[in-house]
Amino acid sequence: MSHSISLLQQMTIFVTIVTGSGCTMMYYLMQRNFAKSEHYRLALEQLNNNATAMASLGAPPLKILNIHLSDRHNRVDHSSAQLKIPVTGSKTGGYLYTTSTRDALMNRWHLQQVFLKLREGEIVEIFNETESEE
């Protein structure tokens, strides 16, 4: 009887470790896919090129943290993407909010809007397609 309980405990531990490792690997791969995406990179380029936003954060150095996958602001489908990217600098941190659409013909992403919302509540407008067209 004690041998079967010991075996059951070992199986439980093994399954828990395998499941936890699988979930961790899936989370890592999803984060990596976000970081490789064109709409993600375009938004970070806009942030890096905006002196006001970078000074507000105290960057460089700029640290880009993992996206919270369960956050309702993070949505991507075939034609649009909306992300909330956590960023920090030496002074403060905040979230980089981005909205992008995909051109189906060219299969390229185009930024619609990018803004930085700092922890203190200040909002720094980085890019707005409607303003850049005028």
pTM: 0.82
- Where are the domains positioned within the chain? 1-36, 37-133
CA-nearest of 100, 80, 83, 96 to 48 is 96
Which residues make Cβ contacts (< 8 Å) with residue 67, sequence separation at least 6?
31, 34, 74, 83, 84, 85, 86
Which architecture, in CATH terms, is 37-133? Roll (3.10)
pLDDT tens-digit map of 61-119: 999 999 988 889 999 999 999 999 999 999 999 999 999 999 988 889 999 999 999 99
